[in-house]
Amino acid sequence: MCGIIGCFGTNGVAEPAARSVLEGLRRLEYRGYDSAGVAALDGCTLVVRKDVGYVDQVAVRFELEDMTGTVAVGHTRWATHGGVTQGNAHPHTDMAGRIAVVHNGIIENYRALRDDLTDAGVVFRSETDTEVIPHLLAMAMADGCPSLAEAVRKVCARLQGSYAFLALSADGGGTMVGVRKDNPLVVGFGDSQIFVASDVLAFGPMASRMAPLLDGEIVEVTMAGVRFFDVYGSELAKNSDAVDIVWANTDRNGHPHYMLKEIFEQPRAVCECGAGEDDSLVDAALAILGARQVVFTACGTSRHASLIGRYFFSKIARRFADVVMASEFGYFARSLNPQTVVIAVSQSGETADVIAGVKLARQAGAHVVSVVNRPACLLEEMGDHVIRLGCGAEVGVAATKTFTCEVIVFYLLAHAMVNRLKQGRANVERAGELLGELLQGLNGGLWKLAADLKGRDHFYYIGRGVNFAAAMEGALKLKEISYIHAEGMPAGELKHGTLALIEPGTPIMAICPNDETHAETISNATEAKARGAFIIGVSDLPSEVFDYWIKIPAVSPLLYPVLLIPPLQLFAYHMAVARGCDPDKPRNLAKSVTVK
């Protein structure tokens, strides 16, 4: 949550830094979009422009494109401390306006620090936790710190919580310093510009090489170049890697929204998923087979994929695994031990609850398998084994292709556990081909269905076995982007309470492909229809009970979720558009949830 980027033009001929920062902010907007701002050093003057709204709205209102100078930092916000106001938007400055700070994360002890600073005469201009940082930095400099980097190191010793922040000082011709703890920060090297940002996506096309910072490491950028320091202040040598151009591509390819583009990328992503990951899959499979207990931990969509994964483990490899939602994981920490394998699943690789759970797992001596999509993420650093989804950047806040690829990874992992990886791959490839054909023919019908149902207030999604987790995911997509109440549940649970909510016309998505769950789910749908429900069947088989049929092709039984979730994503997408919602930027949400 919150995206930060800084740009330092090192040769004086690069285009104004603010323009590059603005471009980076547009690419970071998936991390938060309630306000935005830029601080640029113009000569000796630090100019700050910020306001509530999307990056482009603020850019137009305050002419951010026209800010001059070769050093700038910028921020796109997802509010945690303090409402969505201009005053709370970043950058924040010290009282003299000589140091500007942009921050992602939470400073947990900010109240105590704020009290100390207030006692020392500081006047605060915002309600944020962040504002303590520029004031502390200014004080450290006034107390004789020899450099901004050293001031940052000193100030970090007083900060509790998680953070990645950039400080820009107007003194000495301009200095930009970045540091991180439990939040990502990556340095990018362009021809004539140095970037420091929350994600490589931010500077993707503008830099050719990148170097992620580790916790406690500090980067300092001045006219003299880039230097890295460790947590003790000693200078570090750091290697850089080439920026993955494919990953950094955030083009919408003619689609009106990222979500639609990402839905249609799924057939290819499915076929290519896990390519080059055979060794990781086999190593992880061996670790799982050798473990006493196996636990998935994840949030949201990644948790739904994990719920499907546990069925695969049981059905294909006869291994029981539990799924604990990451925000609850800590409460089970006492039952972890060195015989536990924790499969931590996060497309962003930086979800705070998942990271916190993995820390506890590591403390207990458990083995960690990280399943991630974003390169160079925190979870990747923390895994004993790392399996990459490899499906390219997902920008829409609603997870689509990463869900499908997580499901595929678990399917392959289960096959690796029984030494049938090749067979698993062949099944997956077939599913990918079928999905391609399905999506081509489906769009118009789902658009019409959405237009008919856009006024409904409640939806229920039901399924059994792997399709129960798919039901949960279908419901999450609908509520997340179209703001309609939707519940996903095991079909057999309907009659244990929820049936009381069914009224004439209540839409129920009955997920009942031709697998072992079909007949019983149809029975449950029929019970609901007897109470007036409007049944939308998602299946390869027709049924009299369906008022509307979303027809999918037949596939190897456990792979049905790969074919039936994309139509549900598409339905949710059309519902959002039909209701005038922006599917890429749902209200109150952000893609990377880096706060607990």
| Ordered alpha helix ranges (H), 292-400 | 300-317, 326-329, 352-363, 378-382
Q: Does 438 bind ligand M6R (CB under 6 A)?
A: no
Q: Which range, of 39-47, 79-87, 298-306, 563-571, touches ligand M6R by CB under 6 A?
A: 298-306
Q: Which is nearer to ligand M6R, 190 or 309 (CB)?
A: 309
Binds ligand M6R by CB under 6 A, chosen from 175, 222, 348, 594? 348
Least Å distance between CB 446 and ligand M6R? 18
Q: Does 347 bind ligand M6R (CB under 6 A)?
A: yes
Place of tokens 């820009």: 168
Q: Which is nearer to ligand M6R, 53 or 357 (CB)?
A: 357
Cβ count near 330 (within 10 Å): 16
Cis peptide preceding 507, ω within 30 of 0: no
- Phi first, then psi, for residue 402 (nearest 5°) are -70, -35
Q: Which range, of 61-69, 310-318, 394-402, 487-495, touches ligand M6R by CB under 6 A?
A: 394-402
Least Å distance between CB 557 and ligand M6R? 25
Q: Which is nearer to ligand M6R, 93 or 404 (CB)?
A: 404
Q: Which is nearer to ligand M6R, 129 or 394 (CB)?
A: 394
Q: Which range, of 179-187, 341-349, 362-370, 511-519, touches ligand M6R by CB under 6 A?
A: 341-349
User: Cα separation of 506 and 532, whole Å?
Assistant: 7
Binds ligand M6R by CB under 6 A, chosen from 6, 74, 212, 300? 300
- Scanning residues 33 to 52, which ones bind ligand M6R (CB under 6 A)? none
Least Å distance between CB 126 and ligand M6R? 27
Least Å distance between CB 31 and ligand M6R? 11
Amino acid code (one letter) for 387 = I
CB 129 within 8 A of CB 84: no
Q: Which range, of 92-100, 204-212, 285-293, 297-305, touches ligand M6R by CB under 6 A?
A: 297-305
Q: Does 302 bind ligand M6R (CB under 6 A)?
A: yes
The 3-class secondary structure across 162-202, one letter per residue, is EEEEEEEECHHHCEEEEEEEECCCEEEECCCEEEEECCHHH
Catalytic residue status for 299: no
Strands 241-242 and 293-298: unpaired
CB 417 within 8 A of CB 316: yes
Q: Does 370 bind ligand M6R (CB under 6 A)?
A: no
Residues 110-115: contacts with CB under 8 Å, at least 24 apart = 110/81, 110/161, 113/158, 113/159
User: Cα separation of 190 and 205, whole Å?
Assistant: 9
Least Å distance between CB 63 and ligand M6R? 33
2, 271, 273, 405: the active-site residue:
2
Q: Which range, of 80-88, 311-319, 343-351, 453-461, touches ligand M6R by CB under 6 A?
A: 343-351
- Phi first, then psi, for residue 476 (nearest 5°) are -60, -45
Least Å distance between CB 399 and ligand M6R? 4
CA distances from 130 to 108, 175, 273, 464 (A): 10, 19, 40, 47
| Radius of gyration for the chain, computed over Cα atoms and rounded to the nearest angstrom | 25
CA distances from 469 to 147, 329, 462, 465 (A): 53, 19, 9, 7
Binds ligand M6R by CB under 6 A, chosen from 29, 34, 480, 515? 480
Binds ligand M6R by CB under 6 A, chosen from 140, 211, 324, 399? 399
Least Å distance between CB 217 and ligand M6R? 23
User: Cα separation of 326 and 596, whole Å?
Assistant: 10
User: Cα separation of 171 and 588, whole Å?
Assistant: 37
Q: Does 397 bind ligand M6R (CB under 6 A)?
A: yes
Binds ligand M6R by CB under 6 A, chosen from 73, 100, 288, 299? 299
Question: Of 75, 110, 90, 106, whose CA–CA distance to 198 is shortest?
Answer: 75
Q: Which two tokens stand for residue 176?
A: 């930009």
CB 432 within 8 A of CB 439: no
Binds ligand M6R by CB under 6 A, chosen from 40, 137, 446, 593? 593
Q: Which range, of 153-161, 348-356, 523-531, 551-559, touches ligand M6R by CB under 6 A?
A: 348-356
Q: Does 354 bind ligand M6R (CB under 6 A)?
A: yes
Q: Which is nearer to ligand M6R, 89 or 379 (CB)?
A: 379
Q: Which range, of 53-61, 161-169, 340-348, 562-570, touches ligand M6R by CB under 6 A?
A: 340-348
- Phi first, then psi, for residue 387 (nearest 5°) are -115, 125
50, 181, 529, 591: the active-site residue:
591
How big is the site for ligand M6R, counted in residues (CB under 6 A)? 15
231, with CB counted inside 10 A (0-12, 13-18, 19+), is middle
CA distances from 477 to 417, 468, 506, 535, 546 (A): 31, 14, 18, 19, 22
Amino acid code (one letter) for 91 = P
Q: Does 327 bind ligand M6R (CB under 6 A)?
A: no
Least Å distance between CB 346 and ligand M6R? 3
Least Å distance between CB 196 and ligand M6R? 22
Least Å distance between CB 21 and ligand M6R? 25
Q: Does 346 bind ligand M6R (CB under 6 A)?
A: yes
Q: Does 301 bind ligand M6R (CB under 6 A)?
A: yes
Least Å distance between CB 350 and ligand M6R? 7
Query: Which residues, listed in sequence order, are joined to residue 488 by a DSSP beta bridge?
Result: 461
Position of minimal CB gap to ligand M6R: 300
Q: Which is nearer to ligand M6R, 50 or 401 (CB)?
A: 401
Q: Does 482 bind ligand M6R (CB under 6 A)?
A: no
Sheet holding 322-325, edge to edge: 322-325, 293-298, 340-346, 367-372, 385-388
Binding site for ligand M6R (CB under 6 A): 299-302, 346-348, 351, 354, 397-399, 476, 480, 593
Known catalytic residues are: 2, 591
